[in-house]
Structures are given as C-alpha cells and as structure tokens.
Amino acid sequence: MAEASSVSRNRKLVSVFDDLSDCLCRVADMADFVRVAHPNPQYAAAASHACSTISSLVETLNTNTVIYSALKSVLDHGDVVPTDEVDRRVAELFLFDFEQSGIHLPSSDRSRFVELSESILGLGSAFMHGCQRPVYVRRSSLPMDLRDVFSRDGDSIAVSGLFTDHQSDAVREAAYRIYLHPDDQQTQLLESLLAARHELAQLTGFATYSTRSLRGTMAETPELAVAFLEALADSVRDKAAAEVRLLADVKARHSASTEVSANKQAHDFIVHHDSTVHQNVATG
C-alpha cells in the first residue's frame, strides 16, 4: 500500500495493483480448495478461516481511500511512469471494484460494507456446508425393503445424496424426499444471507443485489438476464417436452409390478413420516 501511494515509484501503479491482486487470489484460491477438499476437518476449518480473513482484507483494501485516490489520480492525470491503453483499461477495472465497494461512502458506511461482506461470506459458506450434510431419519420409519439401502448410524439411517444412479424408483424417490426435506436452519441461513445482500446493495446505491452483481457484465441488468433465460427456455421447451415424453415411455415399458408396489410403499412412508426427518446425528 505504501508503494501505491508513493510518488517515487519506478513501476506502473496498475502493476502494483495487479501484483497485490494476484498474491491475494493465489492464497484465496488455495485456501478455498483446501476448505472444500481436505479430509481433515481441522485443516478444512483453518482454510475456511483463511478464506474469511483474506476476503475481509480484500474488502478493506477496496474501501481504502488512500490507494483509491492514487489510482484515480493516475486515470485523471497520468502515472509517474509511462503507460499505455492496456494499462488504462486495467486501472479502470480496478477503479470499478472500488466503486462497487462504496468507496464514495462515509467512513462509517464503508466499515459497515466490510462487516456485511464478511457476514455474506460466512452465511454463504455455512449454507453451502449445510447443503452437503447427510440427513438422518429413524430406520424404523422406512419400509422394510428400504432399511438396508442407506448408510446406518445406530437406530438411524443417513441419506447423503439423491441416489440418482440407483436402479430402484423407490430408493430414488425416498432419497429425494428425505435429502431435500425442508430444514429450518438452512431456511434461516438463506433468509439472513438474502437480507445481508440486500442491505449491502442498498448501502452502495443499488436497488437490488442482482443489479449490483450484473453491473459491468455482459448481462448488464437483471431484466436482460431474465429476458435471455426466458427466451432460451422458450426455444428449447418443445424439444425438452418431447424428451420427457420419450423418457416417460421408456420408464413405463421397463417398470416391473414389484417396483410399482415398492413405489407405493415409499410414498406412504413419506406421507406419514415427514416429521421424522432431521439433520442432527446426536438425536438421530
């Protein structure tokens, strides 16, 4: 940061910014990989803490008026060393990041921006972690022919995914309904995440978080993004419907009567035992 604000630099300011950005991104990317992939929970937790710390540092830098002013001066008056159009374009992109982070706001609001950014990262990480947790349900609540399909944990069974490749319709349906059963903790995390994103967007002068996220992208606005998605859906709707009919026909021709019976058992289990689904191993 000292080099960025120094008039005695012998490097382009965009090179200083680029080196700083590259260093932070390398550490952040490695930490994020370890967080997701490492089998040791302690390493994963340490990596998650590193991700949070780096993100906080990035947002703190993005709300630093000293280095922002130095960059703005380079764009308005030129650098102390020769630059070209590529350098100018890179500087404009860095300046865009500052503006997205509310560099124009009062000091208290910039501090609030950093707090919200940290909160959004933490809530998003917790929500994604919750999406990957196995769901536990009492083994006795399942039909007999489904009790030994899933992993067993004492008197409970653990459903760790959708079992989309399993040959049994009944197993796939039971896994789908159990694993995707509504969860109050996940709902609260998602609502808190959306609220924090909305507050951050409004703090920085945007109507919605999606408006802020799409600014400067090819999509440009939420309205254009939705229009594109709707046009894309319209263009493939007939072909998709034809494929669904084909798959339904294949399924009907290959379904055995025993499978239909098993499906009814699974459905009856779901209807009568939804309240037994939970995600707490200790109370499983």
Q: Across the strands, what pairs with 157?
A: 137, 152
Three-state SS string across 122-158, please? HHHHHHHHHHCCCEEEEHHHCCHHHCCCCEEECCEEE
| Plot region of 163 (φ>0 → left; ψ -120 to 50 → alpha; else → beta) | left
> What is the reported pTM?
0.78
182 pLDDT band (50/70/90 cuts)?
A: very high
**Mean pLDDT, rounded, of the chain:** 87
With beta carbons less than 8 A apart as the criterion, state whether 276 and 141 touch: yes
List the domain boundaries for the chain.
1-104, 110-284
Distance of CA 282 to the CA centre of its chain: 28
Q: What is the pLDDT of residues 240-265, one digit of tens each?
A: 999 999 998 988 887 754 454 445 55
Report the pLDDT averaged over residues 60-78.
93
Looking at per-residue pLDDT, the higher value among 53 and 256 belongs to 53
Specify the pLDDT at position 279.
44
The rounded distance, in Å, linking the Cα atoms of 273 and 137 is 9
Q: What is the pLDDT of residues 94-148, one digit of tens each?
A: 999 999 999 999 999 999 999 999 999 889 989 988 998 899 999 999 999 999 9
- Whether the pLDDT of residue 273 is over 90: the answer is no
Q: Which residues contact 16 (CB under 8 A, 6 or more apart)?
A: 3, 4, 9
With beta carbons less than 8 A apart as the criterion, state whether 102 and 125 touch: no
188 pLDDT band (50/70/90 cuts)?
A: very high
